Structure 1
Amino acid sequence: MRKITLVLLLCFAFSGVKAQDTFSIVAVDPATGEVGAAGASCVDGVGDLGGLIDIISAIIPGRGGINSQAYVCIPNVNLQNGIAQMEAGASPAEIISWLFANDSFPCGSGGPFDDPAYRQYGIADFNPDTGVPRTAGYTGASADDYKDDIQGATYSVQGNILLNATVLENMEANFVSTTGTLADKLMAAMQGANFAGADARCLDRGTSSTSAFLQVYRPDDTPGNPYLRLNIEEMPFGEEPIDSLQTLYDEFLAVQDNSLDMQLRAYPNPASEFVTIAHNPNVQIDTYTVFDISGKRLNITPQELGQGKVNFSVADLPKGVYFVQLMADGYRQTISFIRS
């Protein structure tokens, strides 16, 4: 399936940004290995920086993601450091502890905001050994009110300078109650904050924010090249960026409607000797590719078990999380399994 980038570009004069106050969500999907994030903020001039997406959010495909917000410098050194810790194998809780102890604020070093109490983080990842999702959040005591962070088994929702607790509560409720893909759930979460003043600074504009984004990585995507990237860089006064984000997402779904439904299922899962991948028997699969959690392609050949089923030997694989990518007629879908 081809990668799709949809960007709405509306640039305004940039007058300097330090405080990226926002509401956001970062989440993983254990069924597919996808990692995604979405967020919005009321910051004038952020369009000249390309929007929020690369300032507050970073993702390691197949591993996890971090949102770093509240008072940040550009570039966001704390975000970069957090991703480096994730790459080194640290858990979400360990990353937050490390960031607190090694806080960086180079654009205001020695000033009043040079303190981890002004930061806010949300992290979600997969345990590289077991595939079990892990989450953690941190909201510094000095971040601007209303502020909070909420974690579930697969997600972290966080925000500051919010109108009230309803913003995060709505986002969480929409994410949890929505069925469908990770992207569907992230878009629903953003709609939960689609009301005037969700970011309190935009109340007089009659909008939730000025800028919004949504991105999702599949486990075999390369860093910086997600299969879905929607970026509303900045909207004019009084125009709602989450509405524009929804428009881009609907356009994305219209393209996806032409894709194949492979109806993937992996069993047993976890597996110790063999894993069977079942798919829609009416779909002719062209290739099967197995990746480990780092994205390394493995030399494993499937054995056909009949129409709509293939079998892989996993006995020689180390314990951990793996992904099987199936290609058919130019489209691809991915499913994960755990080697126990």
Structure 2
Amino acid sequence: MKRIFASSVLIILIFTLTLPGQTINGEPLTHTFSIVAIDQENGEMGVAVQSHWFSVGSIVAWAEAGVGVVATQSLVNVSFGPRGLELMKAGKSPQQALDELLSSDPGAAYRQVALLDAQGRVAAHTGDKCIADAGHIIGEGFSVQANMMLNKKVVPAMEKAFKNSKGPLAERLMAAMKAAQEAGGDIRGQQSAAIKIVKIKASGKPWEDTVLDLRVEDHPQAVAEMERILKVFRAYEHMNKGDLAIEKGDVQTALREYGAAEAMFPQNEEMKYWHAVSLANIGEIEASLPLFKEVFQKTPEYKELTRRIVPNGLLKVNQQQLEIILNVK
């Protein structure tokens, strides 16, 4: 009886230690697929990742403008992220940095890590104790890597998708992520994803040097959700440009940018609202009214906001025009 009880306890203990979301020796079991890559032409470098693990971006993806990017995964040694960046910042090549990280790590056989520096040099490691299917492919200015995948097709699919993709770096990273998932992806499914992109040359202004930093923390279709969020990000880039144009008094540019954002997300009330404001600001009150009407019907609080943006000059209308807008039927 005692032997049966002891065996049961051991089985429960082993099962508990290997449950998704648990750790071994305090290290996260972040099995995943990722890509690190550089776009020399547009001056950007970045990392993208997806895993059946909560908030994978906070553990796996690391980047610093002017230095490089790191993806640290499998049985994760999280310190490889900041330490890898520190070593490259000190002048080490990615391979030298990787060698130093692994040489001091007794768990190196369980690690998977990729480093890329601002020169486009790449190094990667897949330990021989990473869970199959596991591997990596290094290409010119990029590396794709994965472990605990459903099959052997995932990593080659990522390589092919990235090499054949066009456009901004974020969309190319997204293409690799989609290809990984379509090829089979993580054997456990999906949960979280992240894309982080920084500038190759640091300006000393971190708020400007981070080009993009997006995360999906917990979603059953994390890759598709990341693709949606990236599209939202692009739309809000137009919104930001519109806001800047308003600040400079360039109403025509604001109108164009807000219109572009609205076209990408026609159901977004705020985008529609600032489009209407821009029309009113160039004297197109009649053209603005259908937009104001739609916004007010869905979110009546925008009427009060409309009153508040007249005194500071964001909405340049007289009292009569304001009343027409507020009482649109």
| Structure 1 runs not aligned, ≥5 long | 1-12, 104-113, 128-132, 203-208, 261-282, 284-340
Pick one of 57, 77, 80 that aligns with 2:79. Answer: 77
Task: Give the corresponding residue for 1:39.
Answer: 49
Shift of 1:54: 2.2
Within 5 Å, which residues of 2 pair with 1:153-192? 153-192=140-179
The question of whether the paired residues in 2 share the 8 Å contact of 1:125 and 1:135 is answered with yes
Shift of 1:255: 3.1
The question of whether the paired residues in 2 share the 8 Å contact of 1:57 and 1:66 is answered with yes
TM-score by length of 2: 0.61
Query: In the alignment, residue 157 of structure 1 is paired with which amino acid?
Result: V
SS in 2 for 1:228: strand
Pick one of 42, 45, 54 that aligns with 2:58. Answer: 54
Task: Give the corresponding residue for 1:242.
Answer: 223
> In the aligned structure 1, how far is the partner of 2:208 from the partner of 2:150?
32
Within 5 Å, which residues of 2 pair with 1:205-244? 209-218=190-199, 219=201, 220=203, 222=206, 226-235=210-219, 239-244=220-225
Within 5 Å, which residues of 2 pair with 1:114-193? 114-127=106-119, 133-193=120-180
| Structure 2 runs not aligned, ≥5 long | 1-19, 242-252, 254-329
> In the aligned structure 1, how far is the partner of 2:47 from the partner of 2:117?
12
The question of whether the paired residues in 2 share the 8 Å contact of 1:57 and 1:79 is answered with yes
Query: In the alignment, residue 226 of structure 1 is paired with which amino acid?
Result: T
SS in 2 for 1:120: strand
TM-score by length of 1: 0.59
Rg larger for: 2
- Deviation track 1:238-292 (CA, whole Å, cap 9, x = no partner) reads x3110100110111222345788xxxxxxxxxxxxxxxxxxxxxx9xxxxxxxxx
Superposition misfits of 4+ residues, deviation over 4 angstroms: 13-17, 257-260
Q: Is 1:98 equivalent to 2:100 in the alignment?
A: yes
How many matched pairs? 217
Query: In the alignment, residue 194 of structure 1 is paired with which amino acid?
Result: Q
Q: Is 1:254 equivalent to 2:235 in the alignment?
A: yes
Task: Give the corresponding residue for 1:18.
Answer: 28
SS in 2 for 1:192: helix
Greater strand share, 1 or 2? 1
Please provide the CA RMSD for this pair. Answer: 2.4
Shift of 1:228: 1.0
| Identity within the alignment, % | 30
> In the aligned structure 1, how far is the partner of 2:184 from the partner of 2:166?
27
> In the aligned structure 1, how far is the partner of 2:169 from the partner of 2:182?
22
The question of whether the paired residues in 2 share the 8 Å contact of 1:26 and 1:155 is answered with yes
